[in-house]
Structure 1
Amino acid sequence: MTALGLAAGPVVALGFTRFAYALLLPSMRTELDWSYAAAGGLNTANAVGYIIGAGSGAWWAKRFGAGRAFVWGMVISALALLGSGATGDFAALSVLRFVGGLSTAVTFVVGSALASRIHTGGRQQRSAALVAVYMAGVGIGVVLSGVAVPAALSALGASGWQTGWLLMGVLALLALIPAARAAKAVPAAPPAAAGQGRSGLGRMSWSFVWYVLFGAGYVSYMTFVIALLKDQGLGTWSTAAFFIVLGAASALATLLLWGRITGRLPGGASLALVSVVVLLGVLPVLLGDGLAAAMISAIVFGSAFMAGPTAVTVLARRMLPPHAWASGIAWLTVAFSVGQAVGPLVSGVLSDSDGGIAKGLWLSVILLALSAVAALAQRERPVIAAVAGSPEGARPAARK
């Protein structure tokens, strides 16, 4: 139940603040007369805030306590969502997206560390399953936004985008109740002993490369796929069905499948597998059109896109000493955010050129393929190498 309560964090941080923008983007472009580059730039503002929030997440947790940082990040995110429904000014929306990105990154990073600290009795499979429950919150958020936003657009037309933001802001405030209770139930982090040595982040260098490429590839699709489906002739409720199926596939696969897979595959194998499945999920809407292609894409892509954070969090927990989990997850999320900042902007520029949105989305395919290659270079080394804190301690683990 604790992991499920913490999952309210990803519901708000990614399900609402980041991914629901794809549902609102077509109406916002029409009403506010934006180019695709401007639309991508707004998501980049969110991602820049996310970078700063991810990089400072461990500091906020240390300064105010992990539970408080987690909950207050959600509060600020909810206020940013409400504010986004109160203005049509591009500069103001950019600031709100930036603030929302920063606060949700703190929530997501600190929440990931909290989920990693839930007592498991030392069982690795149990730990992976709890992290998967936490990450499943993203899919739940996608489903909720897939219902709330289209309802607002259907009732009010293109101008309903403001009501869509407001509805998600209200839902985010309600999500604070289970999140705050769960945060209080997580045991405190063990203090870092003087002899624990280095964090061992350098041994995960290929995971950082993978996360940058994966973040850029998957978020370009998530930002512009609804606009592509609209161009292909799908209506409001057809695109809503796509989004709901995508979110449901994410929640179910993360809960039932990826927790087991990421707990068993060594090194970067799980990261590479995630990249390949997500890549395959992008292809149907690029190679075909219509509702059938959209649903295939939703199921395949949705089943794996949030397995990336699950897989890398589980890998970090295995490769890093406990005192480095929060900072390790934070810096990995920074890498993720860098990719998410660059991807939509470049994809938006490509979408404004000849070839349209499809041309921009082919960038996702290329980046995801490169991320799979980078993941295969990651080797897993036992956490003892990081705890030892010396070259002599690291060499035996490196040979395993």
Structure 2
Amino acid sequence: MARYVYGLTLPDIRQDLGLSELVLGLIASATFAGYLAGLVLAGPVSARRGARAPTTVGGVCGAVGAVTVVAAHSPGVLAAGAVLCGSAGGWVWAPYSDIVTRTVSPRHQSRALAMITTGTGVGLMALGGLAFLAVLGSWRLVWAGVGVVAVIAAIVNLRLVPRTEPDDVPRTQGGVAGLARALAVPAGYSVVYFAVIVIYFTYAADILGGTELPAVAVPVIYVLIGASGLVALATGAMAGRWGSTRVAAMCLVIVALALALLGMAGDSLSAIVVSACVFGVGYMTGSAVLAVWTAELVPDRAGAAFTGCLVVGAVSSVAAPAIAGTVIPTVGLGPLLLFSAAVSLGSGVGLVLLGGIRRNATAPAA
């Protein structure tokens, strides 16, 4: 919720504060810079205080950042609050891989990781519900709601999530180079996946705002994304049956379809609804399979492996909105979405081909 509330309220922020596309794009990038900072800092905090500690810090950052945005009347204060709020996901996400690998039996770990990641779908449904407050009152009420939920999440986290001691966190074996070799393909996937995802979330509300659809359409779309994304609960089973590489490639193709539909939707409500539902499946399954994939490749360092791919993806997330903000005034939003769709589709096809090449290379000779 904290990561994507900015994109949801972007049209109202533009109107209220009168900010340019460039400034709005830079703030969007800055929120993911905060997310990147949370990812990077979560590892050292886990090493010193245990894997649950950064998840608690994330809840606090989400609450304080959201309250700061509520009080913002200038670009600087808005950016500071949005960055702090955006860091919450970075603090929280990756440490759960270590918590799961230490507290859940191996046969249930893939399912647990998929369930935890798919929790984002429920968060998006809640965010869509909060967005009705913007329709009825002010966009600031949406941020206030996110702050309240962040406080509740931090309390629940402290009471229910198992604590791991600092000395339970595994030490590096093989160093960064070893991780890089093992995670080359998932890291490449992360670059494309996170870039196209952030483009969709940042500008979906803008597409809706440019149509004759009622304002209530924006929160409805977020609810649809979250609800359809619950399909990702089956990610562990899909990865076990078809392989994580194929599932990841499928997700890129699905997101490409969603971006293309959004870019060509115009005033078509049916096209926008289908785009949101398709996107929810690709988005949630795409993030869940990354958690499962990295845990499969580096089971003894699942948290570090997942963090590595998330950091690469976060860098991509930082760059994408800033680039979009400079390109949109020249080419328009529709063509940008179609270009993003083409990149996602091509990457999905390339991932399938690469997976086939790697399987043939490792297959025993007849």
Q: Give the TM-score of the pair, scaled to structure 2.
A: 0.90
Deviation at 1:21, TM superposition (A): 1.7
Structure 2 distance, partners of 1:338, 1:370, is: 20
Structure 2 distance, partners of 1:230, 1:219, is: 18
Return 5+ residue gaps in structure 2 as ranges. none
Tell me the alpha carbon deviations over residues 18-55 of structure 1, each in whole angstroms, 9 at most, x when there is no partner. 21222211111111112222222111001112222212
Q: Does 1:44 align with 2:29?
A: yes
Structure 2 distance, partners of 1:371, 1:54, is: 25
Other-structure match for 2:113: 131
Other-structure match for 1:4: none
Deviation at 1:173, TM superposition (A): 1.0
Other-structure match for 2:342: 366
Moved more, 96-105 or 21-30: 96-105
Deviation at 1:104, TM superposition (A): 2.6
Q: Does 1:253 align with 2:231?
A: yes
Change (3 A) 1:398 1:114: farther
Return 5+ residue gaps in structure 1 as ranges. 1-15, 382-396
Q: Does 1:306 align with 2:279?
A: no
Structure 2 distance, partners of 1:318, 1:365, is: 29
Q: Does 1:232 align with 2:217?
A: no
Does the aligned pair in 1 maintain the 2:57–2:91 contact within 8 Å?
A: no
Other-structure match for 2:192: 213
Tell me the alpha carbon deviations over residues 319-371 of structure 1, each in whole angstroms, 9 at most, x when there is no partner. 1141x2121111111011011111112222222224x3212222321331243
Other-structure match for 1:316: 294
Tell me the alpha carbon deviations over residues 117-153 of structure 1, each in whole angstroms, 9 at most, x when there is no partner. 4312x31xx3221111101211111111111122x22
Does the aligned pair in 1 maintain the 2:103–2:162 contact within 8 Å?
A: no
Out of 269, 273, 285, the position equivalent to 1:295 is 273
Aligned AA (1:288): A
Q: Does 1:83 align with 2:55?
A: no
Query: Over aligned residues, Cα RMSD in angstroms?
Result: 2.5
Q: Does 1:286 align with 2:263?
A: yes
Change (3 A) 1:48 1:280: same
Change (3 A) 1:363 1:92: farther
Secondary structure of the residue aligned to 2:243 is coil
Change (3 A) 1:267 1:141: closer
Out of 306, 309, 326, the position equivalent to 1:332 is 309
Deviation at 1:380, TM superposition (A): 11
Does the aligned pair in 1 maintain the 2:49–2:165 contact within 8 Å?
A: no
Change (3 A) 1:378 1:200: farther
Structure 2 distance, partners of 1:165, 1:217, is: 24
Tell me the alpha carbon deviations over residues 67-95 of structure 1, each in whole angstroms, 9 at most, x when there is no partner. 12211221122111111111121112212
Total equivalences in the alignment: 358
Structure 1 distance, partners of 2:304, 2:50, is: 14
Q: Give the TM-score of the pair, scaled to structure 1.
A: 0.83
Out of 141, 149, 167, the position equivalent to 2:123 is 141
Change (3 A) 1:35 1:370: farther
Aligned AA (1:243): Y
Other-structure match for 1:109: 94
Does the aligned pair in 2 maintain the 1:116–1:130 contact within 8 Å?
A: no
Out of 130, 147, 155, the position equivalent to 2:136 is 155
Other-structure match for 1:35: 20
Moved more, 283-292 or 70-79: 283-292
Deviation at 1:174, TM superposition (A): 1.5
Change (3 A) 1:299 1:116: farther
Deviation at 1:187, TM superposition (A): 8.6
